[in-house]
Amino acid sequence: MSCSSSSGSEEEDEGMDSYRKGGYHAVRVGDTFAGGRYIAQRKLGWGQFSTVWLAYDTQTSKYVALKIQKSAPEFAQSALHEIEVLSAITEGDPESKKCLIRLVDHFKHTGPNGQHLCMVLEFLGDSILQLIRYNRYKGLPLHKVREICRCILTGLDYLHRELGIIHTDLKPENILLLSTINPSKDPIRSKNGPILSRPEGGMNGGPVINAIEKKLKQRARRAVARISARRVSMGGGTPAAKPERCLDGIDFRCKVVDFGNACWGSTPIAEEIQTRQYRAPEVILQSGYTYSVDMWSFACTAFELATGEMMFAPKIGQGFSEDEDHLALMMEILGKMPRKISVGGLRSKEYFDRYGDLKRIRRLKSWPLSRLLVEKFKFSVNDAREFAEFLSPILDFAPEKRPTAEQCLQHPWLNKTSESGVDKVDAEMSKLQIKADK
């Protein structure tokens, strides 16, 4: 999970055994922080290093995301690094125009498990991953994809060119919409007032709140199971077609978040960076990396927004590793990797022979990007060609040949104003859905 995200984690919970010395700080609804300035409202999510809570800032009367780091020294060190990066981002963008999450405040909080570094971040909405799921993995209309891509590239351009920072973990989970998809989950739009004191009940509301949350989750799971069972029975064993999701009313503006793994471009830290599916070839081969690794992850993210599916989802196979499958998948879509690159990394010999061919995966199926978009994802020939022309240069195996975020922002595909045929159909479908809803 994105630790800075206000979107919540996919797992059930972080496990009670981590609430010990050096671990998480136990928070209850209504708890106060920083001398009473911030009041905990509800848990938004958790990561390996921290828990994230929706909090009410009594000084500004705004909602914020309160990230409370585990207290052990290594976690404190990681938090200090993230605070340094976030401070640079926030100070250089006083008007908040660069599409990156803002740091509001940071402080130390002492609890039974030790001293915890806390970061206060602006409260944002759902992640792009949740948007993809909400849209039933169908792929968003291209004019919406362009809108999201412009935000991400604005953030990357500022990070790379002005601040000299590499994100190193760009993915749909780490890009948050400015507001929630469902208005009832937004603390402002839902019209629910803030909780200003601890609710009455067992242990000041802690276990009571947890019990209610668990019951709601169980009820939701049962409802999903019932719907799935009904679909199968209706379709004689085949699930019925899912109705269109209406995307009207959703604000597609977004910000890049989670700088826990970010590094300065002058001093790359870890050898293995990036989440698997968004990892650039130079990271797999260990041939050194720079800002262009973020561009590779961006292209994978843009593809996923437009199609609803990951561009590369490698698996371990008989006699070959996940890394080798990943390299094979890349070459099936992007063509053979130039020999100079395939043999130029510290780990090249694990995967390639001296001719630049994969050692264990010999037969590759060629499926160029534009053909893939037409045949598998039913893009029009024109939309597929234009989108592939935008993505292909960013997915160059040679990192130095990839366009920068600044160059991508000037690309004709990103600056199209007229809706294509596919977008028009999507727009019409949305209108019909609204009428049906009424």
Catalytic residues: 169
In the 8-state DSSP scheme, what is residue 352?
A: B
Picking from 282, 373, 369, 270, the residue whose alpha carbon sits closest to that of residue 326 is 282
Long-range contacts at 367-375 (CB < 8 A, ≥ 24 apart): 367/332, 367/333, 368/333, 368/335, 369/333, 369/334, 369/395, 372/333, 373/307
Residue 193 CA to chain centroid, in angstroms? 29
Look at the chain and count its residues: 438
67 is in an annotated binding site: yes
Residue 161 CA to chain centroid, in angstroms? 22
Task: List 100's β-bridge partners, or say none.
Answer: 256
Long-range contacts at 312-319 (CB < 8 A, ≥ 24 apart): 312/277, 313/277, 314/276, 314/277, 317/361, 319/360
Task: List 110's β-bridge partners, or say none.
Answer: 115
Residue 157 CA to chain centroid, in angstroms? 18
Picking from 373, 274, 301, the residue whose alpha carbon sits closest to that of residue 149 is 301
Q: State the binding site.
A: 67
Q: State the binding site for ATP.
A: 67
